[in-house]
């Protein structure tokens, strides 16, 4: 497995940003729901108070608005950062698979597919290696035969091989 770290965190920006914004959207929706629930509960408490309930109700919107804004300021960038770090472990292997399969499509004989430590989709990488193993083995056999023949020597033919085995 390759041990170096990715320098680019947004390898597939469209895929990664879409996933990240789903995370950010869910976090924002959760914060707004939390704000509404706090407002509802505290409004009911303020209305049930014998004294100063209206004063509390008057201050409530500003206090909870400040808490909501602070939560957004901390949680949404944090969610975005965690989303980038998480999705690059998925988008990186997808990028690697695409590059590897393009090499095979071009007729190149790449070595085994490898992912970085901690990447997702290792099972798919193993499956790609199993599928391309015959291709890599045939390339190794061709290189072994080519390496054993001296330059200028005649190449063996199927007729010569059949004669050597006593067959016509």
75: its two tokens: 């949680």
89 closest CA partner among 19, 168, 148, 162: 19
CA distance 114 to 116: 7
Q: What is the pLDDT of residues 65-74, one digit of tens each?
A: 898 899 999 9
Percent of the chain with pLDDT over 90: 23
Q: What is the pLDDT of residues 93-114, one digit of tens each?
A: 999 999 999 998 888 888 898 9
Average pLDDT score over the chain: 80
CA distance 133 to 102: 16
Residue 160 confidence class, pLDDT cut points 50, 70, 90:
very low
Answer left, alpha or beta for residue 166, where phi above 0 means left and psi between -120 and 50 means alpha.
left
């Amino acid at each position: 497995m390759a041990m170096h770290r990715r320098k680019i965190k947004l390898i597939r920006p469209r895929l990664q940003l879409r996933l990240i914004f789903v995370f950010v959207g869910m976090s924002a929706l959760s914060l707004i729901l939390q704000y509404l629930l706090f407002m509802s509960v505290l409004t009911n408490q303020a209305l049930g108070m014998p004294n100063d309930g209206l004063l509390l109700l008057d201050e409530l919107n500003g206090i909870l608005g400040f808490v909501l804004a602070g939560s957004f300021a901390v949680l949404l960038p944090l969610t975005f950062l965690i989303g980038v770090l998480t999705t690059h472990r998925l988008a990186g292997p997808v990028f690697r698979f695409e590059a590897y399969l393009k090499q095979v499509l071009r007729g190149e004989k790449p070595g085994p597919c490898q992912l970085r430590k901690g990447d997702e989709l290792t099972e798919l990488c193993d499956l790609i290696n199993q599928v391309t193993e015959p291709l890599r083995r045939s390339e190794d056999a061709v290189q072994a035969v080519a390496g054993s023949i001296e330059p200028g020597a005649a190449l063996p033919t199927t007729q010569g091989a059949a004669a050597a085995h006593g067959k016509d």
